[in-house]
Structure formats: structure tokens, C-alpha cells
Structure 1
Amino acid sequence: MTTHDKQITVERTINAPAHDIFDVLTRPDRHQAIDGSGFVRSADHPQRITATGQTFTMNMTGEHMGGDYQTDNHVTAYHTNKLVAWTTAPAGTEPPGWEWLWELDPEGPDSTVVTLTYDWSKVTDKAILQKVSFPLVSETQLEESLANLAAAIPS
């Protein structure tokens, strides 16, 4: 685990090939099952993530947003079986600067180190900074996401 002023990084070795883990991460309809924060409810018209520049919408809930809401997630990085990342924004708005980065480092045919980074270093909007108390998702919740991801891989 690494915590910086405006990002948290956690890592876990998952006993599964990188392609199986990547398959789960690139399917927004699986994100509720891996979410350790409890905010994700479902994907809205889920399409598999296949490239940077795509956007997928998630149905969410949280007191920080007054209950139910939607996010548009803009894919910022994509490298098959290695990396996927997205910035999150309230639906219909431009991303205000926080990003989720999933990195996969195979340790062999059936073992992969998964690194999850939650980075809010690019958030500069004063209204967002007043409304959202960063980090919105804790280190423990990120570790829970990695545990959930490990459990979501078909055996």
C-alpha cells in the first residue's frame, strides 16, 4: 500500500491469469461485484471496455451525492491484459479530476499482481473540493475491491 497526499495505491496477488482478471475489469456490468465502497449499483447499458476514449455510465448511490446518481466514466488508458483506467464524472459533465487505474503484472500463467490506484490529484474545482471530502474511498475499501476482484474470477 502506498498513500500520497492525493492518491492511494493498493496491491494484491490474485491467483488467476491476467486475461481472466482483465475480462472482469473491462465489463462494467461486473463492477458492482468488485466495488469495495458500496457506491456502485449497476451499469447503465453496459458495453465492454475495448479502448481509450470510450465512456461507460454507472448507476451509483451515496450520501456524498444526496442518494442515487449516475457517473460517466471516461476510459483514459487501455492496454489488453495489462492496464485499464478511467476518470469519473457526474453524468453529463466533464471529469473533475479523479481517476481509477488498474494495473496487471503477471507473475506466471496463473498468478497476477493487481495494483489499484485511486488518484484525485487533478481535482482543482473549489466547489467539488467543498462538496466531496477526499479521499472519498478509503484504503480499506480499495483493498476490499481487490479481494472482491479475486473472488469474482471464475475458477
Structure 2
Amino acid sequence: MSESRRIQAERIIDAPAEAIFDVLADPRRHSEIDGSDSVRDALVSAPERLHVDSTFTMRMQVRPPNLHSASLLQVTVAIINRGRISNTVTEFDEPHAITWRNDFGRHTWRFELHPVPGSPTRTLVRETFDYSTNLLPPLLEAVGFPARNRDAMHDTLDRLAAAVGATV
């Protein structure tokens, strides 16, 4: 994995890793935690609980929230895919890590959960967007996608904390 094409964000969430993992493993809750505001809801055919090699399809925003080139690219991809993006789970190590690959662009999203030593109810959560495997990494860079994702990832972690009842 190329370090230069990997974006990370992390925060400590006041919840046990199992509770956090339960939210991440349920695609029906992904729109609730998505900090980019581009994920809508999971299609009915999505599994209630993910596992390695499972696929799930999310409805995506098809109207740009602004005219930033990254937003326009994201909406264009969603339109090409009829407002849907499919993903495949490539890692499922409950309750420590989950990774899924975007089946269109081939980039991955990974969440690592590490219990905070000495605290059974606090977890360090690290989210990684790895676009080194994307079909066109230079295009993502040209439109500013990595920087926009970094900001959205911090929002995702805040929303994940709220979803498990932690103080944001």
C-alpha cells in the first residue's frame, strides 16, 4: 500500500470495540455515519451483517452539494452507476478491523479498532482511505479528492461516535 496514496483519520470513541464494529458491519447504518454526505441508503438486497467476501450496494447522492471538482467527480461516478456504488468486503476481523473495496474505482476503506489500554469502554478507531489501488489515482489527486476525504473522514468518526451513543 502506497503511503502517499493513503489518507487516515483517527479518534478515541467512548464505546467498546464490539459496539462500534456492529455499526460498521451493518451497511444499513452507513448513511448514518457517512461524513461525506454522499452515501444514501443500502439497497434492500444488502446483507444485514457484512462478512468477508460479502457485497453490498449503496444508493449515492446524484446531485452535487457544491461545484467543487471532487464533488462533481463523485456525482458523475454515481450517475454512471445509476446512483449506486457496490462494495466488496475484503477483510472482516471482528471486532478489530473491517475493509471494503469500492467495486467501481477499486479503492478501499478500512476501519481498525484498538481498545484503549486500561479502559474496556474506550476504543481508538482509525479510518483509512487507500486509493493506491484506484484505477486513476492521479485523477483523484487532480480534483482534490484526498483532501476532501480527509475532512469527511473526521466527520465520519464523529458520526460513528454518535451512532454508538458516545459524546462527540
Instruction: Calculate the TM-score normalised by the size of structure 1.
Output: 0.83
- In angstroms, what is the RMSD of aligned CA positions? 2.3
Query: Residue 133 of structure 2: which of 114, 119, 122 is its match?
Result: 122
Q: Percent identity?
A: 33
1:2-21 correspondence runs (5 A):
4-21=3-20
Deviates more, 1:31-40 or 1:45-54: 45-54
Tell me whether 1:104 sits opposite 2:113 in the alignment: yes
CA contact (8 A) 2:140 2:146 kept: no
How many residue pairs get aligned? The number is: 146
Distance 1:29 1:50, change over 3 A: closer
1:28-107 equivalences in 2 (<5 Å): 28-45=27-44, 46-62=46-62, 63-64=72-73, 65-66=75-76, 68=79, 69-90=83-104, 96-107=105-116
Correspondence for 1:152: 163
**What runs of 5+ residues in structure 2 fail to find an aligned partner?**
63-71
Aligned-partner SS, 1:135:
helix
| 1:48-104 CA distance string (max 9 Å, x none) | 3342111011000153233651011100100111111100124xxxxx320000000
> Partner residue of 2:67?
none
Give the 3-state SS of the residue equivalent to 2:129 in structure 1: strand
Distance 2:139 2:49 in 1: 32
List alignment gaps of at least 5 residues for structure 1: 91-95
Structure whose residues are more often strand by fraction? 1
